[in-house]
Amino acid sequence: MIEPTTVWMVHLDRGSADETQGTLSADDWELVFVDAATRETTRFPFVDIVSVKRVIGSPVFTVGWRHDDERRQTAFYLTRPPPLGTLGPQGGPPDVPDIRAATSSHRGGRWRQRRENTRYLAATAVSLKDSRDALVAQIRAAMKRARGEAS
């Protein structure tokens, strides 16, 4: 079904935007993420997934899912995410510049960091677009099968 793929998972609705590197795969019933560091497993049953969306111009897709009557949103990056904070590359990709020193007293630092993040994602999207689109299509097909809908 879905070949094991290295991704970074970010839960978008949990207050903390920390990314977790791991492996995304699937069986017949659920999407499975295994944390690379702790081996902890997160499961997303296909019957609980309500949406899968590509983020155009980036190597990212999001999964909307239900958990205990709550709707949650999780992003999967096919490349290491840029720094999710406002400034600096702490833990981010090495080619994103650290702009904290140059902009410490300027209002434009946050905007510049977002621009750099967008450029980084757009640059990596070109080579990963087909992989992202294939994963999204496979997840959508599995959602339909889990619900007993015709493909």
> Which CATH number fits the domain that encloses residue 32?
2.30.29.30
Q: Could you tell me the two tokens for 90?
A: 């702490």
Question: pLDDT digit string (tens) for 120-148?
Answer: 777 777 778 889 999 999 999 999 999 88
Question: pLDDT digit string (tens) for 109-121?
Answer: 777 777 777 777 7
123 or 54: whose pLDDT is higher? 54
Question: pLDDT digit string (tens) for 90-101?
Answer: 444 444 444 444
Closest alpha carbon to 27 in 4, 58, 60, 53: 4
What mean pLDDT comes out for the span 46-72?
A: 92
Asked if 127 and 103 count as a contact pair (C-beta separation under 8 A), the reply is: no
Spatial distance between the Cα atoms of 23 and 52, rounded to a whole number of angstroms:
18
The percentage of residues in the chain with a pLDDT greater than 90, rounded to a whole number, is 47
Spatial distance between the Cα atoms of 108 and 99, rounded to a whole number of angstroms:
10
Q: Over the chain, what is the mean pLDDT? A: 81
57 or 143: whose pLDDT is higher? 143
Chain Cα centroid distance, residue 26: 16
Asked if 88 and 98 count as a contact pair (C-beta separation under 8 A), the reply is: yes
Spatial distance between the Cα atoms of 81 and 62, rounded to a whole number of angstroms:
14
> Is the pLDDT reported for residue 103 higher than 80?
no
Write down the pTM of the prediction: 0.74
Domain coverage including residue 104: 5-147
Structural domains counted in the chain: 1
b/e 56-65 (16+ beta carbons within 10 angstroms → b) = eebbbbbbbb
